[in-house]
Chain A
Amino acid sequence: MKNHTIHIPSMRGRLIAVFVLGFAFLFGIIFGSRMQSDVFLKAGLTLLGIGACIVISAAAYLIVQQLRWMKNAEKTSDAIEAERNRLQIVLSCMGEGLIVVDKNYRITMFNDRAGALLRLPPSDAVGKPIHAVFPVFHEKTTTHCKTKQLLKNTLHEVNMMTIKLTDNYWCKNNFGKIFPLAFTAVSLWEGNDITGSVLLFRDATEEKEIDQAKDEFVSLASHQLRTPLSTINWYAEMLLDQDAGAITPKQKDFLLEISDANKRMTELVGALLNVSRLDLGTFVIDPKPADIIALIKEVLHDLKSLTEKNKISVSEQYDTTPTVNIDKDLMRIVFQNLISNAIKYSQKGGSVAVEVCLSRATQRGKKQLSISIRDNGYGIPKTEQKKIFTKLFRADNIKAKITDGNGLGLYIVKSIITHAGGTISFTSEENKGTNFFITLPCDGIQSRADKKNHTVL
């Protein structure tokens, strides 16, 4: 770019030289033609003078034009240069590491932050294959580098992908240190061709620490909440058992109220703890082959007193189903919630139907279990159906009728089913009833140890 600036003064010199030479020539010709007595020679010289005038003017015009163009070019190139500098500054000031790769996974751009995070000077990184500089691993297992696999999606089609802290990816820097990774990759394209991928990443260590602190707080807080609840529970039990002497029927009645309220509170604390574990992704999922129908029967058995109290008739219909790889404790929470909801949110004398059938999933032809839990109870108002899986939501029509709900049940259910790779949906009409549908893949769910290796209650 700079060579233009060297030319401009010389162009000016050329212009002056053309004018000086041109005028000297003109003077020569005019003076020469005056001195001639021959008419023809005089006329010829005059014509030559006029012709020379035109040529000089044209040359001068062209030079001026070129000068102007050069000045413009200089301006544009300055602007480009300034823009480029600005971009460089922006890129190096960025809090995130930026890497641009071409179609063959070779690095074409690498900002200062990327260099700092990966402990490698940017100049050393450019031109290298990305997985050599930016090795990404899943769950700290540093044997299988996943970098290319992750970027593939953005290089084969126009795509954007995001890896969050909770996805549990790690990166190893040039010094061998591993850090938790969060990144976004976007396809880079020109016209219809994908030319590469842009990758933005950061070290998520700090977030991870905050997350852990939050998690430990929840664990400890819930432990602290449970201790006094257990104390109340056990003392009430002793009094009710008449271990401290005989009690009157009225005292017994009051003590039962205390005991019941305390049990509800214990359940609430348990539900809150489950919610925080699900939100934080610290739930231990431990799938083992289990019989879903046996599990449902167990839950129905546990709910027997509630069913009898509300005079609900329960009908069951089951296909023969294979054992499914599930986490029994988590799935029990699901059925416990859905079936007890069906019972609680129905008028006395209502009916609840539980059905399990084996079906073929449409997408990949894999078998799946379809579970339906249907009641003919209060239903969910149309306007509120969108919100039923959100935390702490309770529908208006039942708030007054059943006061002890905590608005966490369906949120927990939805989280568990999603974690299990299943789906949950429902149909409902006010005062007609509600029908929940769950599908679960027969090949079950992936085991997942506690994502963050630290204390969980």
Chain B
Amino acid sequence: MKAQKKRYTILVVEDEAPIRKVIVAKLALHNFTVITETSVEEALARLNVQADHIDALWLDHYLPGEGSGITLVAHLKQDAKFKNLPIFVVSNTAGKDKIQEYKKMGITKYYVKAENMLGQIIKEMKAYLDNASKKQHP
């Protein structure tokens, strides 16, 4: 029970303001500390600064500026510091090829926005993080 009460910090990378707002609101209700960024570049900068404080990454696929969610995942998976950071891709890009590409790179889970309830995504995310922290600190 103790592990479930842990407050996680999550970095949400999402460029659509209304979507970002609702994600932040729902995550806060589920006891997450939320940081937000809107592009790959900004997200990388933020991750490098707060590497130790971020427990998970919420990532959209299409992002403004250089690169997409895939670029960011590729970067992180090459970096020893972030190799084990749980990444949840939440996007409306439902193409099988994209999903497979993400999965091959070792992301934790892929959600299609239009097909999932927000509450459900967050619940699953939290369960995953609780499980992972239980394994780390039994």
Contacts and interface: CB of A to CB of B under 8 A. Distances in A.
A237 B19 contact: no
30 contacts: A219-B95, A223-B62, A223-B92, A227-B16, A227-B113, A230-B19, A230-B92, A230-B113, A230-B114, A231-B18, A231-B22, A233-B114, A233-B117, A234-B26, A237-B117, A237-B118, A237-B119, A238-B22, A241-B119, A266-B115, A269-B114, A270-B94, A455-B95, A456-B95, A456-B97, A456-B98, A457-B93, A457-B94, A457-B95, A457-B98
Interface residues of A, number: 26
B96 interface: yes
B58 to A, nearest CB: 13
Given A235-B22, A286-B96, 12 more contacts: A227-B92, A230-B113, A231-B16, A234-B23, A234-B117, A237-B119, A266-B114, A266-B115, A269-B114, A284-B97, A329-B96, A457-B98
A450 interface: yes
B132 interface: no
B29 interface: yes
A273 B26 CA distance: 29
Nearest to B117: A237
B3 interface: no
A214 to B, nearest CB: 16
Interface string A433-457: 0000000000000000110000111
B25 interface: yes
Interface of B: 16, 18-19, 22-23, 25-26, 29, 62, 92-98, 113-115, 117-119
Interface string A409-449: 00000000000000000000000000000000000000001
Contacts of B19: 227, 230-231, 234
A229 interface: yes
Given A231-B16, A231-B19, A243-B26, A270 B95 contact: no
A348 interface: no
A106 interface: no
Contacts of A241: 119
Nearest to A285: B96
B100 to A, nearest CB: 8
Contacts of A234: 19, 22-23, 26, 113, 117-118
Interface string A232-262: 0111011001010000000000000000000
B121 to A, nearest CB: 10
Contacts, number: 65
A159 B44 CA distance: 61
A238 B23 CA distance: 10
B19 to A, nearest CB: 5
A412 to B, nearest CB: 15
Contacts of B117: 233-234, 237
A140 interface: no
B89 to A, nearest CB: 13
A226 interface: yes
Contact of A226 (B25, B29, B97, B114): B114
Q: Which 8 A-B pairs have the closest CB atoms?
A: A230-B113, A226-B92, A456-B95, A234-B118, A457-B95, A284-B96, A266-B114, A234-B22
Given A241-B119, A456-B95, A457-B93, A226 B26 contact: no
A15 B19 CA distance: 104
A241 B115 CA distance: 18
A286 B95 CA distance: 12
A226 B18 CA distance: 13
Contacts of A270: 94, 114
Given A230-B19, A230-B114, A231-B16, A238 B25 contact: yes
Nearest to A273: B94
Given A231-B18, A284-B95, A226 B62 contact: no
A290 B108 CA distance: 25
Q: Interface centre among A227, A270, A455, A456, by most B CB within 10 Å?
A: A227
Contacts of B62: 223
Contacts of A329: 96
A234 B119 CA distance: 9
Nearest to A244: B25
Nearest to B19: A231
Contacts of B18: 231, 235
Nearest to A243: B29
Contacts of A269: 114
Q: Interface centre among A229, A234, A235, A270, by most B CB within 10 Å?
A: A234
Contacts of A231: 16, 18-19, 22
A54 to B, nearest CB: 97
A353 to B, nearest CB: 29
Contacts of B29: 243
Contact of A457 (B16, B25, B92, B119): B92
B18 to A, nearest CB: 5
Interface string A271-305: 00100000000001010000000000000000000
